[in-house]
């Protein structure tokens, strides 16, 4: 047992007062003579021994009363087993301010309850205690120890945040700071106030620290059902004008109830474009298909939404993409332009085709073009091969027609750089195309299937390529002999199409066949860079894109909302000799669609959504948390009761131990009552 104010123990010398009074008031017994013995019947018989016992008991009651009062004023307490002393040198407090903390409990919203409990924790410690506040935002202003009043200001300013943090990362942040920024590395306390969602409470990853005593304060919520949109995507990787899109939305039912005929709406640039309804079973995900047509060019800001209450932050899902006003095509020729290629693009106003010879190549201009056709070069310099590989890596599309008289070694150098199979030989055996991969997106909407007896192009001679299994290559056109006539390769962010022959009549009938038009035309139409149509707030994000002009150090990029009420300048990082830039996004806190501008010129759009981890409202119960602590051997962790009438007491016991002063007040009253009883009842 220890004392909060041990100096009061000197008052125990006051017991000398009743002792002195007792000694001075001690009276000896006298003999009384009676004239008549009949009066003896009215005299109470009292022996000398009984009288002395009464006085000693009264004296003892008075001494014990004084001692009980002295002990009560000295405030004795039994130190808590979880705390080495009354004073904690530093106290860490984590308040979970994620979206799930907006849920309702019996005492109001969980975030409000958490703030109230944090106030109670701080008030249980002496004024000299320093506090560390941690929230999901990991804000810089919280990265230092503060006094109680500053802590209260920080707590009152806490707002719901879209950021999601795992329990292990929260504890690691508290651990690192408390161990490196406090003098007393032994006596440290940590409190975690959260609803302990299963999706983020990774007890198994917590790094044990025996120097920090951690108290978990679970905030229980009422059971809430939730229906939310978790993802969306296009069937085709590229967008083009007047194309009918098949758009898919993933909707998850996180409840034990089924939903029927729930409407889902799709908006593009503020206009409703599609409407559908769906049914979803309990604890399952339903894929909903929406169809619409890209009727205009430019930046398309899309929103998919459903109606579901009371959790609403995940009812909308934002996405963005662009339809170019025109597609720029660069055709690099050996000596002469190809009449078949020129005829294909001559009358198309949407595709702006430009022919140049291989002697006039300006590699710095590659980023201006959506697609490049490399038409039968005799040789490919190593510098050009590297620039073409760079162009493809940032999202460009390359279409390669080889020349039978060309430098195969130079060809293979290019093919190796872009991750394609290399040329092994020339096959002069006449064959024909026997298989068309109608599932490839360049034939989307062109063929449903190819008849077995279809009239397909004849190939007079062609290159034969290696067949490395590690190459991410898809055969689009295949000959009877099994050789690939046209292959498609995804190379980093771009696409490469490699033909096994030249676009001339002496190589085969392909350039004169009706298959030539949709094949080459759609290669260019689908050449727009396929970027992510959305990103997630709270995760490190870099948006990479190729600008239509050469990026310079003077370019100033802005990311702003369509209504211009929000604007900020992102971090800019150049890549690969000005071919592309990366914009670092870390400031955004609000889901929505955003425009990207460079020097006040629009260069694209993007979209951000809240992390759907918070949509899974399943939380650990008190029993589950206890099992997790035991399973992962977290001996320095304990669970604290959250009832309003006892949480203050629990915190007091943690910081100072079990208080006994009330017990001694009761004992003092008992001894006073005993003294009164002795004096009044013992006659």
Q: What is the pLDDT of residues 485-504, one digit of tens each?
A: 999 998 888 899 999 999 99
Sign of the torsion angle spanned by Cα atoms 613, 616, 619, 625: negative
pLDDT digits (tens, 9 = 90+) for 385-400: 999 998 988 888 999 9
Inside any domain, residue 132 = yes
Q: Computed from CA positions of residues 437, 438, 441, 446, in that sequence, does the dihedral angle turn out positive or negative? A: positive
User: What separation in angstroms does the CA of 287 have from each of 113, 167, 203, 321, 554?
Assistant: 37, 31, 33, 21, 45
Lowest mean pLDDT among 50-54, 140-144, 277-281: 50-54
Cα-Cα-Cα-Cα torsion 36, 41, 47, 48, nearest 10 degrees, comes to -40
pLDDT at 31 over 80: no
User: Mean of the pLDDT values across residues 508-514?
Assistant: 94
pLDDT-derived band at 664 (thresholds 50, 70, 90) equals confident
Q: Report pLDDT for 60.
A: 87
The CATH number assigned to the domain holding 370 equals 3.40.50.880
Q: Are residues 98 and 184 both part of a single domain?
A: yes
Q: Which residues span the domain enclosing 23?
A: 2-79+668-681
Same domain flag for 158 and 65: no
Q: What pLDDT, on a 0 to 100 scale, did the predictor assign at position 494?
A: 86
Query: What's the rounded mean pLDDT across residues 642-656?
Result: 58
Query: Lowest mean pLDDT: which of 355-364, 469-478, 592-601?
Result: 469-478
pLDDT for res 35: 62
Mark whether 391 and 486 lie in a shared domain.
yes
Q: Between residues 494 and 594, which one has the greater pLDDT?
A: 594
Task: Tell me, yes or no, if the pTM score tops 0.85.
Answer: no
Split at pLDDT 50, 70, 90, the class of 86 is very low
Q: Are residues 373 and 521 in the same domain?
A: yes
What pLDDT, on a 0 to 100 scale, did the predictor assign at position 124?
80
Q: Are residues 44 and 95 in the same domain?
A: no
Predicted pLDDT at 26: 54
8 A C-beta contact, residue 595 and residue 560 = yes
Residues 511 and 422 in one domain: yes
Buried b / exposed e across 577-592, counting CB within 10 Å, b at 16+?
Answer: ebbbbbbebeebeebb
**Model pLDDT, residue 325:** 84
* Tokens describing residue 132: 């560390």
Please check whether residue 287 lies inside any domain of the structure.
no
| Euclidean distance between CA atoms 12 and 9, whole angstroms | 6
Under the banding of pLDDT at 50, 70 and 90, the label for residue 88 is low
Instruction: Give yes or no: residues 487 and 340 share one domain.
Output: yes
Q: What is the CATH number of the domain that holds 142?
A: 3.40.50.410
Residue 412 domain-assigned (yes or no):
yes
679 pLDDT band, cuts 50/70/90, is confident
State residue 27's pLDDT score. 52
Q: Could you tell me if residue 517 is inside a domain?
A: yes
- Of 525, 551, 578, at which residue does a domain stop? 525
| Same domain membership, residue 478 and residue 424 | yes
Residue 246 maps to a domain: no
516 with 630, same domain? no
d(CA 386, CA 406): 18
| Residue 248 forms part of a structural domain | no
- The pLDDT of 303-328, averaged and rounded, is 91
Taking the C-alpha atoms of residue 637 and residue 8, their distance in angstroms, rounded to an integer, is 36
Burial of 414: CB neighbours in 10 Å, binned 0-12, 13-18, 19+: buried
Least confident range of 78-92, 113-127, 146-160, 222-236: 78-92
Residues 477, 486: contact at Cβ < 8 Å?
yes
Q: Residue 611 falls within a domain, yes or no?
A: no
Confidence of residue 652 (pLDDT cuts 50, 70, 90): low
Res 85 pLDDT > 50 = no
- Residue 401 has a pLDDT of 97
Position 84 pLDDT exceeds 50: no
pLDDT at position 627 is: 93
- Asked whether residue 634 is domain-assigned, the answer is yes
Structure tokens at 94: 């984590």
Measuring CA to CA, how many Å separate 631 from each of 616, 626, 636? 23, 9, 13
Q: Does one domain contain both 130 and 186?
A: yes
* Beta carbons within 10 angstroms of residue 418's beta carbon: 21
Q: Which residues pair with 455 in a beta bridge?
A: none
Predicted confidence band of residue 402 (pLDDT cuts 50, 70, 90) = very high
Q: What is the pLDDT of residues 415-426, one digit of tens each?
A: 999 989 999 999
Look over the chain and give the mean of its residue pLDDT values, rounded to a whole number: 85
> Residue 650's pLDDT is what?
63
**pLDDT cut 90: percent of the chain above it:** 45
Tell me: do 562 and 511 sit in the same domain.
no
DSSP string of 438-472? TTSGGGTTT-S---TT----EES-EEEE---TTS-
Model confidence pLDDT, tens digit, residues 244-254: 889 999 999 98
Q: Domains in the chain: how many in total?
A: 4
Instruction: Give the tokens for residue 671.
Output: 């001894």
Find, among 337, 372, 286, 316, the residue nearest to 546 by Cα. Answer: 372
60 and 42 in a common domain: yes
Predicted confidence (pLDDT) per residue in 161-199, tens digit: 998 899 999 999 988 888 776 665 556 888 999 999 999
pLDDT tens digit sequence for 135-171: 999 988 888 899 999 999 999 999 999 988 999 999 9
């Amino acid at each position: 047992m220890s004392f909060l104010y041990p100096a009061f123990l000197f008052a125990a010398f006051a017991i000398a007062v009743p002792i002195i009074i007792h000694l001075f008031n001690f009276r000896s017994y006298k003999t009384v003579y009676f004239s008549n013995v009949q009066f003896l019947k009215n005299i109470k018989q009292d022996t000398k021994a009984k009288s002395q016992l009464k006085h000693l008991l009264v004296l003892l009651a008075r001494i014990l009363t004084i001692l009980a009062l002295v002990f009560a004023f000295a405030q004795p307490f039994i130190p808590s087993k979880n705390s080495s002393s009354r004073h904690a040198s530093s106290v860490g407090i984590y308040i979970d301010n994620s979206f799930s903390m907006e849920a309702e409990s019996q005492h109001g919203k969980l975030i409000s309850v958490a703030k109230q409990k944090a106030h109670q924790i701080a008030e249980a410690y002496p004024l000299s205690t320093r506090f560390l506040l941690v929230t999901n935002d990991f804000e810089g202003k919280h990265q230092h120890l503060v006094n109680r009043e500053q802590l209260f200001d920080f707590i009152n300013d806490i707002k719901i945040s879209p950021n999601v943090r795992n329990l292990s990362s929260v504890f690691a942040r508290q651990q690192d700071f408390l161990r490196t920024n406090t003098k007393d590395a032994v006596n440290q306390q940590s409190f975690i106030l959260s609803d302990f969602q299963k999706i983020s409470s990774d007890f198994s990853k917590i790094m044990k620290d025996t120097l920090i005593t951690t108290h978990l304060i679970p905030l229980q919520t009422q059971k809430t059902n939730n229906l939310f949109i978790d993802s969306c995507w296009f069937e085709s990787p590229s967008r083009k004008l007047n194309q009918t899109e098949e758009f898919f939305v993933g909707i998850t039912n996180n409840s034990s109830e089924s939903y029927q005929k729930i409407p889902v709406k799709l908006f593009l640039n503020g206009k409703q474009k599609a409407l559908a309804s769906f049914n979803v079973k309990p604890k399952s995900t339903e894929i909903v298909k929406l169809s619409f047509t890209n009727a205009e060019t430019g930046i398309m800001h899309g929103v998919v939404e459903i109606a579901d209450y009371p959790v609403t932050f995940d009812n909308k899902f934002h996405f963005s993409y662009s339809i170019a006003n025109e597609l720029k095509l660069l055709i690099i020729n050996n000596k002469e332009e190809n009449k078949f290629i020129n005829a294909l693009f001559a009358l198309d106003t949407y595709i702006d085709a430009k022919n140049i010879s291989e002697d006039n190549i300006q590699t710095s201009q590659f980023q201006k073009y959506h697609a490049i056709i490399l038409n039968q070069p005799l040789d490919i310099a190593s510098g050009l091969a590297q620039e073409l590989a760079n162009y493809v890596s940032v999202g460009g599309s390359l279409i390669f027609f080889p020349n039978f008289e060309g430098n195969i070694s130079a060809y293979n150098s290019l093919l190796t750089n872009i991750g394609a199979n290399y040329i092994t030989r020339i096959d002069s055996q006449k064959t024909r195309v026997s298989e068309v991969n109608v599932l490839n997106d360049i034939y989307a909407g062109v063929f449903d299937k190819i008849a077995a007896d279809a009239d397909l192009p004849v190939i007079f001679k062609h290159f034969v390529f290696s067949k490395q299994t590690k190459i991410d290559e898809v055969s689009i056109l295949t000959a009877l002999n099994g050789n690939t006539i046209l292959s498609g390769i995804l190379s980093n962010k771009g696409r490469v199409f490699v033909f096994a022959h030249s676009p001339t009549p002496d190589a085969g009938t392909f350039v004169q066949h009706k298959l030539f038009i949709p094949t080459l035309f759609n290669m260019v139409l689908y050449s727009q860079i396929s970027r992510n149509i959305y990103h997630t707030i709270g995760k490190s994000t870099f948006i990479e894109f190729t600008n239509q002009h050469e990026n310079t150090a003077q370019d100033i990029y802005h990311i702003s909302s369509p209504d211009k009420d929000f604007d900020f300048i992102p971090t800019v990082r150049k890549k690969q000799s000005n071919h592309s830039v990366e914009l670092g996004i870390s400031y955004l806190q609000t889901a929505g669609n955003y425009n990207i501008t460079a020097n006040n010129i629009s260069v694209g759009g993007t979209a951000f959504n809240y992390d759907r981890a918070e949509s899974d409202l399943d939380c650990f119960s008190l029993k589950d948390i206890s099992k997790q602590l035991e399973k992962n051997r977290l001996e320095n962790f304990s669970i604290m009761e959250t009832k309003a009438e006892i949480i203050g007491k629990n915190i007091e016991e943690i910081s100072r131990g079990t208080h006994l002063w009330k017990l001694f007040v009761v004992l003092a009253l008992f001894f006073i009552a005993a003294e009164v009883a002795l004096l009044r009842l013992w006659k």
